[in-house]
Structure 1
């Protein structure tokens, strides 16, 4: 604001000066026009004609008057411009004064705020001083108290020094005894070193035992996985040997009717034949899944190539299955994140991935195995007559059983009365369908059959 006042200087003389000879003036003021009323023009006559001397004088007077009027007009214009300039200067001065006043008001407000801030700081300093005074008084009291405590501690230290001198002598005596004990400790240390050597050997043995236990656990798990597959192999090979008996062995038998002896084929337990054919041709998700878990088959081998036409050969036909992409990792960690794929033969038959299949309730697995058996019968895939009613009924019941899980908890699934009833009904329907398959394919009892999945026997076909 002070700088503004110093820079402000009122104009001491007009910005425009009168110049009567200026030719660039523009009319800015409306001057009252000169009206020459009642002026008429008459032709000069002899009586009205002035003498030449008077006429010349009158002409000079008119020119002088005109010059005077023009001079007055020019002066009026200059005066008006001067007045306008002075008015502009006055307006500028007023604007500057208003700005100066506003700056003074702002300075006053700033000074007021600064004063208020100083007042608050002063009050804060006063409070801090009062606090410091109080703390100083407290410190003085504490100092006196500490002086008293120091005296007490000095007296106590003196008493303790006397006691420590007595204890020092006692400690010297104890030191002698400790030296004797140290010798004993050295002997014990040597014994401990020998013990540590033995301990290292024990730790190595423990590590070996842990490794063996881990291997045993893996082997037990592997045996659990292989057990269904092993049982299938046992049933199939037992059936083979039983059929070999029937083919190669003959028993000399007496015929009461003819009264002669004849050679009769060796008779075997029909249950062995039934179990063998069921193991070879019936659905068994646990055994089939173990092929993938044990890396005997890969997911690529079991997956249909959707882009290949009918003329394209099957993947890995006649070759050893590739073990890449197996379910071994998922089996080890108990994980099953992927949904079943319809293009995978195992998942199309058994609804689940191999590792997840093994975790389902046993009655659900039994129903799924029946479904896989029905789906793979020759008569449903070669256009033969079909027991459609039994097939549709069995598949509908299996679908109902599958939908009950996981709504029905696992621990109650295998004991649920409705589930047991439905699974038993599916078993009976499957036996009827297999019997129909045997009859339609024209197979005789006890013979090998290439078209049917089962042969006739006295035992259940499932």
Structure 2
């Protein structure tokens, strides 16, 4: 046991080591007095006085006996010291053994507590494993549900694509029918030339030709009017489908750093997103005007009643001027004559009524569309002041372009170098403002527009 005592913790108090050679050690010895009677010694008397030689021998014997007794006493003292030293060693070893026993009991209690802690940890790990298994099962069920939803959405997208294909094919068929009707018109003309002598038949054929030409003109006009609306719908729905790809399509990609696969979102086509945003939030007088021309919207719907004195001029006081009149008169009517008691939303945005708007030069229409875009942006309507300088600059340039129109005939307005430069400048400013508006309102997906000769960075505005 003493050989392994270094494996245990030290005792709270140091042990006292016994040193039998210490000078201060002095065992208590209780020596019995020597009884001379037991040794059959008697006091000398006169009657039994020994001779000197015998007396000397007896004295030597007594001295030897006394020396022997003293030696025995010293030996007994040494033996007592040795016994006490051994007893002290035994007591020290017993103390060490007691301390070792206590340490072993402490170690056993510590091992018991550690075993109990390990058991509790094992139970906790078992519970966590059961919980993770349940969560994994739930995640698997959700994954299956999402897979079913994705398949349903894919089927719905396919059905919509099929419907769009059918509509496109219908339009193509309609164009083919129009071409066939045009061929019929030409055939009728040839018949009219061959039947010049048959007046009645010729008149009937002329009437039929006129009806067909009228129908063709109406169909062509209707197609021309519907085309802006059709293009707006195509751009908006294409943007929707492109954003749906980013939400639903994920690509399994290997990460070299982590050494694991992760799902990467589909990268959208920024040009499609930009076109869809412009179609939904940008000014487009041709598309908006076609809603009124096709009777999809009424003038009453687009008119707001406002309180006004009886002396205030009415929007209905003057008739829309004939498009065959002077451009200056039409322009002044669009900008000055319509100061309404009833405010018309189309005329507020585009300055002219729909039928008159379509007759304006293309560059003027482009500038007016940019002006309508800037006026309707949420960025400015919510009281935000950035980018206010670009807004004022764009509106000032648009005002300059509109004021140039009366002095330039329609055929020269679209080719004027100053007009072209100013419209390009307005286009660049408007695209920059719309980019900031999309970022501000959270409508952008990272799409960027390809600008004109002017390029702006929206990063400096944020």
Residue 257 of structure 1: CA displacement? 3.0
Residue 153 of structure 1: CA displacement? 111
Change (3 A) 1:307 1:117: same
The answer on whether the counterparts of 2:283 and 2:370 sit within 8 Å (CA) in structure 1 is yes
Residue 384 of structure 1: CA displacement? 2.1
Question: What is the DSSP-based 3-state SS (H/G/I as helix, E as strand, rest coil) of the residue aligned with 1:197?
Answer: coil
Q: Which moved more, 1:16-25 or 1:127-136?
A: 16-25
Residue 424 of structure 1: CA displacement? 1.1
Q: Which residue of 2 aligns with 1:157?
A: 157
- Name stretches of at least 5 consecutive residues in structure 1 with no aligned partner: none
Change (3 A) 1:320 1:458: farther
Change (3 A) 1:98 1:312: farther
Is the aligned partner of 1:376 residue 2:397?
A: no
Q: Which residue of 1 aligns with 2:19?
A: 19
The answer on whether the counterparts of 1:252 and 1:264 sit within 8 Å (CA) in structure 2 is yes
Is the aligned partner of 1:9 residue 2:9?
A: yes
**1:331-368 CA deviation, whole Å, 9 max, x = no partner?**
99999997888711000001111111111111111111
The answer on whether the counterparts of 1:236 and 1:277 sit within 8 Å (CA) in structure 2 is yes
The answer on whether the counterparts of 1:253 and 1:261 sit within 8 Å (CA) in structure 2 is yes
Q: Which moved more, 1:221-230 or 1:450-459?
A: 450-459
Which protein is bigger by CA-based radius of gyration?
1
**1:200-240 CA deviation, whole Å, 9 max, x = no partner?**
55654443333112101111011111111111111111111
Residue 392 of structure 1: CA displacement? 0.9
The answer on whether the counterparts of 1:303 and 1:343 sit within 8 Å (CA) in structure 2 is yes
Question: What is the DSSP-based 3-state SS (H/G/I as helix, E as strand, rest coil) of the residue aligned with 1:418?
Answer: helix
Q: Measure the CA separation in 1 of the matches of 2:254 and 2:147.
A: 131
Q: Measure the CA separation in 1 of the matches of 2:248 and 2:198.
A: 65
Q: Measure the CA separation in 2 of the matches of 1:187 and 1:159.
A: 41
Q: Which moved more, 1:20-29 or 1:411-420?
A: 20-29
How many residue pairs are counted as aligned between the two chains? Answer: 462
**1:103-125 CA deviation, whole Å, 9 max, x = no partner?**
99999999999999999999999
CA RMSD of aligned residues (A): 35.8
**1:310-335 CA deviation, whole Å, 9 max, x = no partner?**
99999999999999999999999999
**1:74-116 CA deviation, whole Å, 9 max, x = no partner?**
9999999999999999999999999999999999999999999
Q: Which moved more, 1:242-251 or 1:132-141?
A: 132-141
Residue 409 of structure 1: CA displacement? 1.5
Change (3 A) 1:378 1:309: farther
Residue 451 of structure 1: CA displacement? 23
The answer on whether the counterparts of 2:5 and 2:100 sit within 8 Å (CA) in structure 1 is yes
Question: What is the DSSP-based 3-state SS (H/G/I as helix, E as strand, rest coil) of the residue aligned with 1:196?
Answer: coil
Question: What is the DSSP-based 3-state SS (H/G/I as helix, E as strand, rest coil) of the residue aligned with 2:458?
Answer: coil
Change (3 A) 1:155 1:50: same
The answer on whether the counterparts of 1:445 and 1:455 sit within 8 Å (CA) in structure 2 is no
**Where do residues 44-55 of structure 1 align in structure 2 (5 Å cutoff)?**
none
Q: Measure the CA separation in 2 of the matches of 1:249 and 1:133.
A: 28
Q: Which moved more, 1:326-335 or 1:225-234?
A: 326-335
Change (3 A) 1:367 1:121: closer
Change (3 A) 1:234 1:438: closer
The answer on whether the counterparts of 1:447 and 1:455 sit within 8 Å (CA) in structure 2 is no
The answer on whether the counterparts of 2:18 and 2:88 sit within 8 Å (CA) in structure 1 is no
The answer on whether the counterparts of 1:443 and 1:455 sit within 8 Å (CA) in structure 2 is no
**1:178-199 CA deviation, whole Å, 9 max, x = no partner?**
9999999999999999999987
Residue 254 of structure 1: CA displacement? 2.6
Residue 394 of structure 1: CA displacement? 0.7
Q: Which moved more, 1:422-431 or 1:9-18?
A: 9-18
The answer on whether the counterparts of 2:185 and 2:209 sit within 8 Å (CA) in structure 1 is no
Residue 283 of structure 1: CA displacement? 0.3
The answer on whether the counterparts of 2:289 and 2:354 sit within 8 Å (CA) in structure 1 is yes
The answer on whether the counterparts of 2:304 and 2:344 sit within 8 Å (CA) in structure 1 is yes
The answer on whether the counterparts of 2:282 and 2:369 sit within 8 Å (CA) in structure 1 is yes
Change (3 A) 1:356 1:16: farther
**1:41-86 CA deviation, whole Å, 9 max, x = no partner?**
9999999999999999999999999999999999999999999999
The answer on whether the counterparts of 1:226 and 1:290 sit within 8 Å (CA) in structure 2 is yes
Residue 276 of structure 1: CA displacement? 0.8
The answer on whether the counterparts of 1:253 and 1:262 sit within 8 Å (CA) in structure 2 is yes
Q: Measure the CA separation in 2 of the matches of 1:162 and 1:242.
A: 17
Change (3 A) 1:435 1:446: closer
Change (3 A) 1:245 1:409: same
The answer on whether the counterparts of 2:313 and 2:339 sit within 8 Å (CA) in structure 1 is no
- Name stretches of at least 5 consecutive residues in structure 2 with no aligned partner: none
Residue 160 of structure 1: CA displacement? 97
**1:291-321 CA deviation, whole Å, 9 max, x = no partner?**
1111111111101111499999999999999
TM-score by length of 2: 0.47
Q: Which residue of 2 aligns with 1:101?
A: 101
Change (3 A) 1:205 1:382: same
Q: Which residue of 2 aligns with 1:437?
A: 437
The answer on whether the counterparts of 1:235 and 1:279 sit within 8 Å (CA) in structure 2 is yes
The answer on whether the counterparts of 2:313 and 2:341 sit within 8 Å (CA) in structure 1 is no
The answer on whether the counterparts of 1:252 and 1:262 sit within 8 Å (CA) in structure 2 is yes
The answer on whether the counterparts of 2:306 and 2:341 sit within 8 Å (CA) in structure 1 is no
Q: Measure the CA separation in 2 of the matches of 1:48 and 1:168.
A: 168
Q: Which moved more, 1:345-354 or 1:12-21?
A: 12-21
